[in-house]
Structures are given as structure tokens and as C-alpha cells.
């Protein structure tokens, strides 16, 4: 219970900071939009092929946007030695981790809520009735992205060239999430149902559970060393 209370408090702090500074969310959203534009220039596709490529393009846009967000995730803690102060306060390190995961998750979901429809408009894709199912797959993938991403964002806090290092570590480890989410969304788009995508969804849930647990247990060492 104490853990939940602390997590909510810490999450509230991050949300409040974000509302007042509006640093991450706005830039993440526009970055997502820019990536969509670039994709459109790179792969000028005939309309009938859009549905095939949509899951990959969408999800890559989220992964790039999310990586941008991860780079900023501990920015507030880096300034004025706030991290030391936070570590001095009697909060559970697990709560610290969960709050950051939740915060990053909320940011990404907000961006996705805008980018999904924007994609449909920009690429002329008629997928409006499938949007909720697609979004569900994306949520599972986003959780996987956040649980590992938060851990490694904290890890690269004091590394040289951290902006380079983070995706370099993260992307290979993230391959199950990237593959499963893209294939899952692709199946949903093609068949309109979940049945065939179930193995991929189970893989995503497995990934989320394993690394949420691992991150929760390991975070203490990463943040304190």
C-alpha cells in the first residue's frame, strides 16, 4: 500500500513538472509527426499497400519518439542534484521505478492517441473501426518499451554520449517487442480480429511481465551506484 502511495506521489510530481514546463510531451508529439512526414517522403506508397506498411511505420515512429522521451526522462533529476535529494528521502526504489515507468507510459500513450489518427489522415488509410484493437496491441508494446527503457535510461544517466548509448543498448533488446507489436498490428489490420495475433500478444504480455519484475528488482542497484 505504501508502495502505491509513494508511486502515485512521485508520478504526480513528474506530471506536475510536465504540465508546468511542457518540455517532453510537445516535442515528442511534433517529433512523431515529423517522422511520419519523413516516412511519407521515403516510401511514397500506392494506396493499396499502405495497410501492409502501416504497422511497421507507425510503430517505428513510436519507438523513435519514445527514445526521445527516454532521453529526457531523468532530466529533472539531473539538475540541481535532485537525484541525490530523491535518494536521500525514504522512498522505496521500486516506487521510483514504477513512477517513472508510468510517467513515460502516459506520455507515449498521449502521443500515440494523436499520432494514430494523424497517420490515418496523412496516409489515407481507412482503419477507423479497427483503431481500438490496434491501440490495444500498441499499449502492450508500449508497456514493454517503457519497462526496459526506463531501466536503461537510468543506467545511462552518467555515461558519456548517453543519447547515443541508450538506443544502442535498447534497440537490440527490444526486438521481441518491436517484432511482436508490428506483427500483431499487421494481423489485426489484415483479419480484423485478434485470434491469429494471440501468440504475439502472449509474447508481449510475457515480455512486459518479465521485465517489469526484473526492472523493479534491479532498479535499486542501477540508480544508487
Partner 1 sequence: MAQTSRASRILGALALFSILVGLYFALIEAPPDAYQGDVQRIMYLHIPSILTAYLSFFIVFVGSCLFLWKREKRDDILAHSAAEIGVLFTGLTIVEGSIWGKPTWGVWWTWDARLTLTAILFLIFVSYLILRALIEDENRAAVCGAVLGIIGFLDIPLIHMSVYWWRTLHQPPSILRPDKAPWENIHPSMLIALSINLVAFILLFFYLLSQRIRLSETEEEVKTLKLDEAT
- Sites of contact with partner 1 (CB under 8 A): 148, 151, 155-156, 158-162, 165, 168-169, 172-173, 175-176, 179-180, 183, 199-200, 203, 206-207, 210-211, 214, 218, 221-222, 225
* The three-state (H, E, C) secondary structure of the chain, written as one string: CHHHHHHHHHHHHHHHHHHHHCCHHHHHHHHHHHHHHHHHHHCCCCHHHHHHHHHHHHHHHHHHHHHHHHHHCCHHHHHHHHHHHHHHCCCCHHHHHHHHHHHHHHHHHHHHHHHHHHHHHHCCCCCHHHHHHHHHHHHHHHHHHHHHHHHHHHHCCCCCCHHHHHHHHHHHHCHHHHHHHHHHHHHHHHHCCCHHHHHHHHHHHHHHHHHHHHHHHHHHHHHHC
For partner 1, the closer of residues 113 and 159 by Cβ is 159
For partner 1, the closer of residues 13 and 162 by Cβ is 162
Q: Give the shortest CB-148-to-partner 1 separation in angstroms.
A: 7
Q: Give the shortest CB-169-to-partner 1 separation in angstroms.
A: 5
Q: Give the shortest CB-218-to-partner 1 separation in angstroms.
A: 5
Q: Give the shortest CB-209-to-partner 1 separation in angstroms.
A: 11
For partner 1, the closer of residues 123 and 216 by Cβ is 216
For partner 1, the closer of residues 51 and 179 by Cβ is 179
Amino acid at each position: 500500500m505504501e508502495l502505491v502511495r509513494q508511486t502515485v506521489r512521485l508520478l504526480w510530481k513528474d506530471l506536475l513538472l510536465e504540465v508546468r514546463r511542457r518540455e517532453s510531451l510537445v516535442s515528442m508529439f511534433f517529433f512523431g509527426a515529423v517522422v511520419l512526414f519523413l516516412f511519407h517522403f521515403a516510401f511514397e506508397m500506392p494506396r493499396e499497400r499502405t495497410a501492409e506498411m502501416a504497422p511497421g511505420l507507425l510503430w517505428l515512429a513510436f519507438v523513435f519518439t519514445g527514445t526521445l522521451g527516454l532521453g529526457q526522462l531523468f532530466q529533472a533529476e539531473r539538475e540541481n542534484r535532485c537525484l541525490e535529494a530523491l535518494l536521500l528521502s525514504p522512498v522505496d526504489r521500486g516506487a521510483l521505478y514504477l513512477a517513472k515507468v508510468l510517467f513515460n507510459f502516459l506520455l507515449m500513450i498521449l502521443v500515440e492517441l494523436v499520432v494514430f489518427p494523424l497517420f490515418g489522415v496523412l496516409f489515407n488509410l481507412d482503419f477507423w473501426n479497427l483503431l481500438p484493437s490496434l491501440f490495444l496491441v500498441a499499449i502492450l508494446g508500449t508497456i514493454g518499451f517503457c519497462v526496459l527503457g526506463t531501466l536503461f535510461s537510468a543506467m545511462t544517466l552518467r555515461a558519456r554520449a548517453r543519447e547515443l548509448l541508450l538506443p544502442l543498448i535498447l534497440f537490440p533488446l527490444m526486438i521481441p517487442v518491436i517484432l511482436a507489436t508490428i506483427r500483431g498490428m499487421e494481423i489485426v489490420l489484415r483479419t480484423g480480429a485478434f485470434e491469429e495475433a494471440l501468440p504475439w500478444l502472449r509474447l508481449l504480455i510475457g515480455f512486459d511481465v518479465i521485465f517489469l519484475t526484473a526492472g523493479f528488482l534491479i532498479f535499486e542497484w542501477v540508480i544508487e551506484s
